[in-house]
């Protein structure tokens, strides 16, 4: 009896002690878990990055993008706050890693064996190819042997590492420059302006920049698809890497990676040079006439989405009319215009107001189960083919055991609405679903072009304004800009 009481007492003490450890979040001393324990104890996950198509700053100076969502979800998975340190070049990021100022690096970086001498790579989560880029209108290069001009890459990048390998193994005459203060996107912009002859870049950066600078063109593919990865400190501690493996495994099981790829890159695959040139030209020449109206009636939308939508509908022609009778900037049908209180469909302000209100109305009718960041694509599809047909696409998606709340799954079923074996069993019947598919994808591409082009234009104007201010300061001091430059030579 006494032995039973003693055993019971010991069990209770052990249980209470274990509970106290859990309650106080005390970690057992374990050198193999130092990395993850530091992050949990600190309550912060610190990452370093540089601007890229996968992570950048929006108009409010908040980080956004594919990589940002991944690291934010990872911080949530760990139950800690995310701290993002935006750096200006690749070497600064790796300095942060070496000096313990970052837990890892996330910047859309290619897997690079050279980096593994001092770091370790995380799980691969996306893939891109490397391409030799030139300016459209100049002679297209077919191989490194035919280059005639300045080839520039970002210092510390996998592109620079690849060029070193190519010089050692295949092209001993190959020459290039490495820039410490320009990202790949900035180099592509410089190339589009004729300041650089060639750039070695990843395919996703090129695809995004072509929406803003359509004269950026692919000379030839240098590599096949290669993985993108995060980089961690090197060492025997596997705890952070293990957490990443578990995290990415969950993302794959929940189809999150596929959804994020669709959200950020699902619409950038195809590129029409002449269509993009036409749109970019109209941004400067036509958009200023209507931008105040898009801003006025955007409400909860990004005004640039409405502008992209209007370009897809009418090419910003207020008198546009289709064979089916839809008219105006937002191409409203007569019944839709009437329901939105629009009396003159050819009046730009009435058309934009009516189109924005109708899009908002469609959004409000969508099921709450659709994720917030995907709802707009469903609403745009409904704007094009009708709300009932959009519901049919969701029904068909569910019938085929896919997710009716996922735009990735639903958009692939839209073209099936024009096939009899599918539409004859749906409540609303035949619909030109392939047109709705292209409609939404085109708007997403136009919005990407518009946002990027306006941001690039704003940045350039700021630089010009600063240069003028500097010139003015020089003149006030009695020294011309020319003598100012000479003083530092």
Q: Nearest CA to 263 among 355, 361, 372?
A: 372
Residue 261 sits at the vertex; the CA angle it makes with 257 and 264, to the nearest 5 degrees, is 135
Tell me the angle at which helices 387-399 and 375-385 cross, rounded to the nearest 10 degrees. Answer: 120
> How far is residue 102's CA from residue 255's CA, in Å, rounded to a whole number?
28
Name the one residue in this structure whose structure tokens are 């995907």: 374
Reading the block at residue 180, the tokens are 């410490």
SS3 content of the chain, % helix, strand, coil (to 5): 55, 15, 30
Residues 229, 234, 240, 246, CA torsion sign:
positive
List, in sequence order, every residue forming a beta bridge with 138; answer none if it has no partner: 136
Q: Which of 313, 350, 374, 441 is catalytic?
A: 313
Residue 278 sits at the vertex; the CA angle it makes with 438 and 450, to the nearest 5 degrees, is 70
Asked whether the beta carbons of 143 and 173 are under 8 A apart, the reply is: no
End-to-end CA distance of the chain: 95
> How far is residue 54's CA from residue 81's CA, in Å, rounded to a whole number?
20
> How far is residue 400's CA from residue 367's CA, in Å, rounded to a whole number?
19
Q: Cα–Cα distances in Å, from 307 out to 298, 299, 456, 460?
A: 9, 13, 18, 22
Told to judge if 313 belongs to the known catalytic residues of this protein, a careful annotator would answer yes
Q: Cα–Cα distances in Å, from 393 out to 2, 339, 390, 430, 433?
A: 72, 25, 5, 11, 8
Residues annotated as part of the active site = 313
């Amino acid at each position: 009896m006494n032995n039973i009481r003693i055993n019971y007492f010991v069990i209770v003490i052990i249980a209470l002690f274990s509970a106290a450890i859990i309650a106080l979040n005390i970690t057992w001393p374990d050198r193999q878990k130092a990395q993850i324990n530091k992050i949990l104890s600190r309550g912060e996950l610190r990452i370093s990055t540089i601007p890229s198509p996968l992570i950048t700053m929006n108009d409010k100076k908040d980080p956004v993008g594919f990589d940002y969502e991944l690291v934010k979800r990872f911080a949530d998975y760990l139950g800690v706050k995310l701290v993002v340190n935006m750096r200006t070049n690749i070497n600064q990021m790796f300095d942060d890693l070496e000096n313990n100022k970052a837990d890892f690096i996330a910047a859309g970086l290619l897997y690079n064996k050279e980096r593994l001498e001092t770091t370790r790579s995380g799980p691969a989560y996306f893939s891109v190819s490397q391409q030799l880029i030139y300016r459209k209108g100049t002679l297209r290069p077919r191989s490194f042997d035919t280059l005639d001009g300045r080839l520039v890459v970002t210092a510390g990048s996998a592109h620079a590492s690849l060029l070193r390998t190519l010089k050692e193994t295949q092209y001993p005459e190959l020459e290039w420059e490495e820039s410490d203060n320009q990202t790949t996107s900035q180099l592509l912009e410089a190339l589009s302006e004729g300041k650089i002859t060639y750039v070695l870049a990843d395919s996703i950066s090129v695809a995004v920049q072509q929406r803003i600078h359509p004269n950026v063109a692919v000379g030839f593919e240098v590599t096949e698809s290669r993985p993108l990865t995060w980089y961690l400190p090197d060492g025997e501690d596997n705890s952070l890497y293990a957490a990443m493996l578990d995290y990415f495994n969950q993302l794959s099981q929940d189809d999150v990676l596929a959804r994020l790829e669709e959200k950020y890159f699902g619409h950038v695959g195809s590129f029409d040079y002449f269509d993009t040139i036409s749109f970019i030209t109209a941004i400067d020449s036509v958009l200023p006439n209507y931008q105040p109206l898009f801003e006025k009636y955007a409400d909860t939308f990004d005004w640039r989405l409405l502008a992209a939508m209007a370009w897809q509908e009418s090419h910003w022609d207020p008198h546009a009319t289709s064979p089916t009778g839809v008219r105006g900037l937002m191409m409203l049908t007569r019944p839709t215009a009437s329901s939105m209180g629009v009396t003159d469909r050819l009046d730009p302000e009435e058309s934009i107001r009516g189109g924005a209100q109708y899009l908002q109305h469609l959004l409000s009718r969508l099921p709450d189960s659709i994720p917030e960041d995907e709802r707009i694509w469903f609403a745009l599809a409904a704007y094009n083919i009708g709300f009932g047909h959009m519901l049919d696409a969701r029904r068909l998606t569910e019938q085929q055991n896919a997710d009716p709340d996922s735009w990735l799954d639903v958009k692939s079923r839209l073209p099936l609405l024009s096939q009899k074996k599918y539409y004859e069993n749906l409540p609303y019947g035949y619909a030109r679903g392939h047109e709705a598919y292209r409609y939404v994808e085109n708007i997403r591409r136009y919005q990407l072009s518009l946002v990027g082009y306006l941001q690039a234009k704003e940045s350039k104007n700021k630089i010009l304004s600063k240069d003028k201010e500097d010139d003015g300061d020089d003149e006030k001091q009695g020294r011309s800009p020319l003598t100012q430059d000479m003083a530092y030579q």
